[in-house]
Amino acid sequence: MLLYFITVTFGIAANGHLRTIEHETGLEVSNISYRLPRHIRPILYEIFLEPHLEPGLNPATFTGAVIIELKVMEKANNVTLHGKQLNLTENKIKILHTSGQEIGISKIVKDDLRDFFIFYTITSLIEDETYILIIEEYHGILNLENKGFYLAKYYDKRGRERRLATTQFEPTYARQAYPCFDEPHMKAEFIISLIRSENFSSISNEELLHTTNLGGGRYKDTYKKTVIMSTYLTAFVVSDYKHTNKTERHRVFADEDAIDNGEAEYALKTAIELLTTFEHYFNVNYTLSKMDQIAIPDDYFKNGAMENWGLVTYRKSLLLYSNLSASIIERQFITETIAHEFAHQWFGDLVTCVWWRYIWLHEGFADYFQSFITALVKPEWDVSQTFLLESVHKALRHDNSNTTKPMNYDYINPEDEFDYNAYAKGGSVIRMFEHFLTSSVFKRGLSIYLNKYAFSTAKPHDLYGALQKALKIEKKEHLLANLTVSDILVTWDSQSGYPVVNVKRNYQTGSITLSQRCFRFNEKIEDNSVWYIPINIFTAQNSSSDTTADFWLINSTDTIQYSLSKNSWLLVNKQQTGYYRVNYDRVNWMNLIGFLNDQNINDIPVLNRAQLIDDTFNLARAGQLHYYTPLFLSKYLVKETEYAPTQAFLNAIEFLNLVLFDAPEYSLFQNYVIDILSGLYKNLGFVKKQNDRHLDKRTRINVLRWLCKIGHKECRENSLKYILSWQKDNKTSLTPDMEEYVFCGAMRIANYNSWTFLYQKYEKAANTSHKRRLLLGLGCSEDENILNRFLDKILRNNSSLSIKERNSILIAVSDASSVGLNLLLDYLGKNFEELQSRVNLKDLLASISPKLTTSEQLNKVINLCNKYNLSPLLFEKVMKDPKENIQWRKREFLDVIKSWLITFSETSVTKNLLDHLM
């Protein structure tokens, strides 16, 4: 047990530093293991921290102490643990045996490269014995890097600066707050004490146990001992925040104004619903007795949120919600963000991946369940459609190059950012195996997994074993056709990319030949990967609801018999539950296109209609399908009323809009898009309707954004009317949803007077969401003089905007139009020296580069990269997309698209036409 007789003080040592520090040198970075040795494991930490938040203290600092109970797993002569940017005092470090005997320390080595503190002992540490490491005092800086134990700021309604100390420890930043064994499998219990001044309060993972008055206006808050958990999940905040009334297990913390305005009430209500729903679904109770959520100022939170056990931290704009100022898009995003972090309370917190290689076991499940559980709480939102677009299709777009990573990926340096595939691809593959296993097997398997590995760590094979056991219990092993869960999923978690399944029908014999290959935009890349693919077939004669596999494609090619008339269509991959694309022979494509253009589109499920749009445009872009196929298919969209197929089309034409913007035929492309969206525009209208569904509102926002962007005269003029009316009467009827498209649409044709009016509204706006929409709208101007003035205002004229806000605005300007993109590149080039300290050029270039399609644009970015001295790795990353885009334009695709626009964009699709052309 831990020796509690140790007295911890916070006096400052004479020198404040370790006197005997040695630095290991001469190691090649590529040969270094960043892993801790395994001879010692922590059992219990007692952590004492005091942040110094006095106004004007620069830099802000903190003082700490830690006592760690250790178990020796094998004989050793040192204690090695992590610490970074911490100043330790040599004469305040001790190692004791639990008997009370002090173990002498012979030397201390500080390895800055691996963030190690190594305490060498005079006598050996004995296997199976328990020792105590005491670091009575150390010092650190509350950094401004939004990681570790760091400083955040905000301004109250009187304009006064307020300070808070908060944490962000995933993946490897707990070591910046306290010396620790900072690896996910090194779990322990924690007792956390926070010292604060009387005008501040503190919170941590667990309930407050007691508060001790230390005198002099200082108080020590001591929290209950936690359950066994990883270091990266510990969290604490010292602030002057208020909180909502505690309801059941829940509180929400935020600045006083936000609490008083009721902006935390939606998060509180939603959290109660979501956490209870998770418990019922998993059949595993939430572990802790409380769940706190806290809103950190946006500029001081790098990511969206962090799943600290019992104390979830959020970017303020992703937690707080006002009915008066938030759009339905923001409301859904907040809901799903809360659900994402709550999913982690089981996947990540309760059961933790043994190492970051398997981070998809956390993020993949959180990605999937943020939609799955939201759908249970908000069934009227039809979240299945948004998940398909925002996770499955997004993953498919990212996961198709020679640089893509597999789900299981060894991050050389733990500080490397987790790959996108850990999130969206992980969630998409999880959705796939839920469907081929059935929901009941999936649910039972997860319950087995969570119960078996609770408070411990796991690898993918542990998950697969639990699912296999559930399959056996439910007597459904036949669903896998003599394969095991592990056989199948290893092909998905350990290979980069994904397959395209080519379906070729023999219309005389009824046979179908299915073949697979790795899908790449760059066909020159050789890849002979083979996946175990669940194949199911949907026709006009069968049901789309059974999403188990009819057949497993485990070889490069296989043939099956399937009786179907020549004029009938078939679809592979019901509801697009499988993580793959599908291509068909010419006749089957003709049958599908003809059916959707001539018959009832609802006979094909909405998710499959979205699949057809997404697959065809991407197959054509990759050179695996003639561009006439997606273009003729898209003509059916004049009859479409649903979100997913519409948004799939809007996503697809983003690329075509970029590559065609300087072509003489661009006006034909504009007319084509306007014609496709005309049915939706007529059906949805410009303003909300009383009988609108949730997805109708989201569809209206996105369709009107695009219509205004592509040059729809009525859309732009209607938008400007609202601004002119506001300008005239100084009052507006715009709802938050309408602001999402009206501000941008209006500014595309507004003169400087109207633009200035909106800018003045931005300067006076107090609400964060409203202010964001105003700022993004201002960047939509297509007048170069206005845009130059706008960039001057936000970049050169003592703007109070943060670097993060400036970057967001510049990215929005580049998104809004080709005028904005080209002007921004010129502006950055001309003003580089002045601007490099005001923007994050590395992140900005990474966001802009996929939009570049000409050699002239690329050369401008190369010049910027050279001025910025971008690292070779980042330079290569920035160059990748523009080079591929430019190469794409040199192929015949552009001529094919132009030919179709000239000849067929205004032609009705008939069977005779398809027979003649395809």
Which pairs count as long-range contacts for 96-100, CB under 8 Å and 24+ apart, including other chains? Answer: 96/3, 96/131, 96/132, 96/134, 97/129, 97/130, 97/131, 97/132, 98/1, 98/3, 98/129, 98/130, 98/131, 98/132, 100/3
Instruction: State the pLDDT at residue 833.
Output: 82
Instruction: Give the C-alpha separation, 331 to 323, whole Å.
Output: 9
Q: What are the tokens at 679? A: 């049915």
pLDDT tens string 825-849: 999 888 888 887 888 888 888 889 9
Among candidate residues 71, 56, 52, 88, the one with its CA nearest the CA of residue 127? 71
pLDDT at position 916 over 80 = no
Instruction: State the pLDDT at residue 863.
Output: 87
pLDDT at position 859 over 60 = yes
The bridge status of strand 456-458 relative to strand 351-353 is parallel
Which pairs count as long-range contacts for 819-826, CB under 8 Å and 24+ apart, including other chains? Answer: 819/782, 819/784, 819/787, 820/779, 820/780, 820/781, 820/782, 820/787, 821/848, 821/851, 821/852, 821/857, 822/857, 823/784, 823/787, 823/788, 823/791, 824/791, 824/848, 825/857, 825/860, 825/861, 825/864, 826/860
Instruction: Give the C-alpha separation, 210 to 51, whole Å.
Output: 19
pLDDT tens string 318-367: 999 988 888 999 999 999 999 999 999 999 999 999 999 999 999 999 99
Q: What are the tokens at 125? A: 């540490």
3-state secondary structure of 77: strand
Going by pLDDT thresholds of 50, 70 and 90, the confidence category of residue 55 is confident
- The residue whose two tokens read 């404040």 is 16
Q: What are the tokens at 866? A: 């050279």
Give the contacts of 602 (CB within 8 A, at least 6 positions apart): none
Q: What are the tokens at 480? A: 């896998």
pLDDT tens string 321-334: 988 888 999 999 99
Instruction: State the pLDDT at residue 30.
Output: 52
pLDDT tens string 700-738: 999 999 999 999 999 999 999 999 999 998 888 899 999
pLDDT at position 867 over 90 = no
Given a contact cutoff of 8 angstroms between Cβ atoms, the answer to whether 137 and 11 are in contact is yes
Amino acid symbol at 225? K
- The residue whose two tokens read 């590529």 is 30
Query: What are the helix (H) ranges across 685-751?
Result: 694-710, 713-729, 736-747
Q: How many CB atoms lie within 10 A of CB 340?
A: 27
The bridge status of strand 21-22 relative to strand 105-111 is parallel
Give the contacts of 253 (CB within 8 A, at least 6 positions apart): 203, 237, 239, 241, 242, 243, 264, 292, 293, 294, 295
Instruction: Consult the annotation and say whether 340 binds a ligand.
Output: yes
Instruction: Give the C-alpha separation, 209 to 371, whole Å.
Output: 36
3-state secondary structure of 373: helix
Q: H-helix or E-strand containing 68? A: strand 61-72
Beta bridge partners of residue 537, listed in sequence order: 572
Q: What are the tokens at 911? A: 């069977």
Q: What share of the chain is helix, strand, coil (3-state, %, to 5)?
A: 45, 20, 35
What is the chain's mean pLDDT, rounded? 92
Beta bridge partners of residue 68, listed in sequence order: 45, 133
Q: H-helix or E-strand containing 590? A: helix 586-598
Instruction: State the pLDDT at residue 302.
Output: 86
Give the contacts of 187 (CB within 8 A, at least 6 positions apart): 228, 229, 230, 352, 455, 456, 457
DSSP classification of residue 158: T
Among candidate residues 445, 436, 439, 443, the one with its CA nearest the CA of residue 488? 436
pTM: 0.94
Q: H-helix or E-strand containing 518? A: strand 511-518
Q: How far is CA 105 from CA 89, 122, 509, 916, in A?
A: 13, 6, 82, 86
CA angle, 440 then 446 then 450, to 5°: 150
Going by pLDDT thresholds of 50, 70 and 90, the confidence category of residue 90 is confident
Going by pLDDT thresholds of 50, 70 and 90, the confidence category of residue 797 is low
Instruction: Give the C-alpha separation, 233 to 437, whole Å.
Output: 32
pLDDT tens string 241-287: 999 999 999 999 999 999 999 999 999 999 999 999 999 999 999 99
Phi, psi of 758 (to 5 degrees): -70, -35
Going by pLDDT thresholds of 50, 70 and 90, the confidence category of residue 913 is low
Instruction: Give the C-alpha separation, 395 to 431, whole Å.
Output: 13
Instruction: Give the C-alpha separation, 705 to 267, whole Å.
Output: 28
Instruction: State the pLDDT at residue 917.
Output: 59
DSSP code per residue over 681-695: HHHH-SS--TT--HH
pLDDT tens string 493-511: 999 999 999 999 999 999 9
Instruction: Give the C-alpha separation, 129 to 658, whole Å.
Output: 66
Q: How many CB atoms lie within 10 A of CB 74?
A: 12
The bridge status of strand 130-141 relative to strand 116-125 is unpaired
pLDDT tens string 117-137: 999 999 999 999 999 999 999
Going by pLDDT thresholds of 50, 70 and 90, the confidence category of residue 438 is very high
Given a contact cutoff of 8 angstroms between Cβ atoms, the answer to whether 130 and 151 are in contact is no
Instruction: State the pLDDT at residue 414.
Output: 59
Among candidate residues 378, 352, 380, the one with its CA nearest the CA of residue 365? 352
Instruction: State the pLDDT at residue 515.
Output: 98
Catalytic residues: 341
Given a contact cutoff of 8 angstroms between Cβ atoms, the answer to whether 269 and 276 are in contact is no
- The residue whose two tokens read 């073949």 is 515
Instruction: Give the C-alpha separation, 408 to 496, whole Å.
Output: 9
- The residue whose two tokens read 């790098």 is 302
Among candidate residues 256, 129, 245, 234, the one with its CA nearest the CA of residue 177? 234
pLDDT tens string 573-630: 999 999 999 999 999 999 999 999 999 999 999 999 999 999 999 999 999 999 999 9
Q: H-helix or E-strand containing 629? A: helix 628-634
Among candidate residues 87, 88, 187, the one with its CA nearest the CA of residue 134? 88
